């Protein structure tokens, strides 16, 4: 088996209870390099719990998550030291929050928001950090003239694009996204989606995207998991699940979309 044939991320029987309340139950899947997985379902279906379990922000009640590190060794994330986990988060992973304020420092400049991730991986040269930050602002379609302004002065769409630049600047291999287009105007959404789509293909990123928007899933993902009541009820090729949904709930989701 060649190296690229091994999964990047492996979820095995992931289960989470909040006391007696079920978060999600028995979720298993493998994610490969360059693959985008969409997790869809209504509020309360367990999709955000799953994302937090995968990204080790929550500890599972049962099951485990394994990840293939850059050295090619696949490790159980629960066995990493806190320092190792933090390093993973700063370098190899990105996390795009629905609320940009959670993923950005709102009062420091855009340039520093992007540069901070580079400094965390050891960059020290101010000119190079600023140069790379400028390139990334340009890449996410933010006028580099705005590099010294804090995101507090940015529009919603710009904040979200800045968050993406901040996450991708360290060239992660895996990005988690929680409703990345939620709360944005439709035209702003289209621009963001188009940008994400281009970056994901260009950089060969693997991603897990939580969304309740099936159009987002269709546009960005290769595979889709439909969740309901904490369980995965259908999982497969995105266009197959959306065009030929098998489960009653998936059929309901697909048929509930208003044609534009």
Partner 1 sequence: MDPLQLTGVAKSFTMHLQGGIRLPVVAGVAFSVGAGECVALAGPSGAGKSSVLKMIFGNYRCDTGQILVRHEGEPIDVARADARAILKLRRTTIGYVSQFLRAVPRIAAIDVVAEPLVAAGVGREAARARAGDLLARLNVRERLWELPPATFSGGEQQRVNIARGFLPALPILLLDEPTASLDAANRAGVMDLITEKKKCGTAIASIVHDDDVRARTADRVIDITRFSAQGTA
Among 153, 171, 251, 257, binds partner 1 (CB under 8 A): 251
Q: How far is the CB of 194 from partner 1 (least distance, A)?
A: 4
The single-letter DSSP state of residue 259 is P
Q: Does 237 bind partner 1 (CB under 8 A)?
A: yes
Contact segment (CB under 8 A) with partner 1 among 112-120, 149-157, 169-177, 243-251 equals: 243-251
Which of 113, 52, 48 lies closest to 77 in space, CA to CA? 52
Question: Who's near 220: CB < 8 A, 6+ residues apart?
Answer: 36, 38, 193, 196, 197, 200, 207, 209
E-state strands within the chain: 9-18, 21-31, 36-40, 62-68, 74-76, 93-96, 174-178, 206-211, 223-228, 231-237
Strands 62-68 and 36-40: unpaired
Task: Give the integer Cα–Cα distance in Å for 146 and 221.
Answer: 32
Which of 119, 112, 67 lies closest to 92 in space, CA to CA? 67
Residue ranges in 199-228 that form contacts with partner 1 under rule CB under 8 A: 201, 219, 222-223
Q: Does 139 bind partner 1 (CB under 8 A)?
A: no
Among 131, 152, 197, 257, binds partner 1 (CB under 8 A): 197
Q: How far is the CB of 237 from partner 1 (least distance, A)?
A: 4
Among 193, 205, 226, 232, binds partner 1 (CB under 8 A): 193
Among 135, 153, 247, 257, binds partner 1 (CB under 8 A): 247
CA 18 vs. chain centroid, Å, equals 23
Task: Give the integer Cα–Cα distance in Å for 157 and 59.
Answer: 32
Is there a contact between 231 and 24 (Cβ–Cβ < 8 Å)?
A: yes
Spell out, one character per residue from 9 to 48, where the chain touches partner 1: x when CB under 8 A holds, - when not.
-----------------------x--x-------------
Q: Does 188 bind partner 1 (CB under 8 A)?
A: no
Q: Does 66 bind partner 1 (CB under 8 A)?
A: no
Residues forming the site for partner 1 (CB under 8 A): 32, 35, 190-191, 193-194, 197, 201, 219, 222-223, 236-237, 239-240, 243-244, 246-248, 251-252, 255
């Amino acid at each position: 088996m060649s190296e690229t044939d091994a999964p990047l991320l492996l979820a095995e029987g992931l289960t989470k209870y909040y006391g007696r309340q079920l978060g999600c139950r028995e979720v298993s899947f493998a994610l490969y390099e360059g693959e985008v997985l969409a997790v869809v379902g209504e509020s309360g279906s367990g999709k955000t719990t799953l994302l937090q379990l995968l990204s080790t922000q929550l500890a599972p009640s049962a099951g485990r998550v394994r990840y293939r590190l850059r050295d090619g060794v696949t490790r159980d994330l629960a066995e990493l030291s806190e320092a190792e986990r933090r390093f993973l988060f700063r370098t190899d992973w990105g996390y795009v929050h629905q609320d940009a304020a959670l993923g950005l420092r709102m009062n420091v400049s855009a340039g520093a928001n992007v540069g901070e991730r580079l400094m965390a991986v050891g960059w020290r040269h101010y000119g190079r950090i600023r140069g790379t930050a400028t390139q990334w602002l340009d890449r996410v379609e933010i006028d580099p003239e705005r590099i010294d302004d804090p995101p507090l002065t940015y529009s919603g769409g710009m904040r979200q694009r800045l968050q993406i630049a901040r996450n991708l600047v360290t060239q992660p291999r895996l990005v988690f996204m929680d409703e990345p287009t939620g709360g944005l105007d439709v035209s702003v959404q289209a621009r963001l989606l188009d940008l994400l789509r281009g970056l994901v293909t260009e950089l060969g990123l693997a991603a897990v995207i939580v969304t309740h928007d099936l159009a987002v899933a269709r546009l960005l993902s290769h595979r889709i998991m439909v969740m309901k009541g904490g369980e995965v009820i259908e999982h497969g090729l995105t266009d197959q699940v959306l065009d030929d949904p098998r489960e009653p709930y998936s059929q309901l989701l697909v048929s509930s979309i208003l044609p534009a």
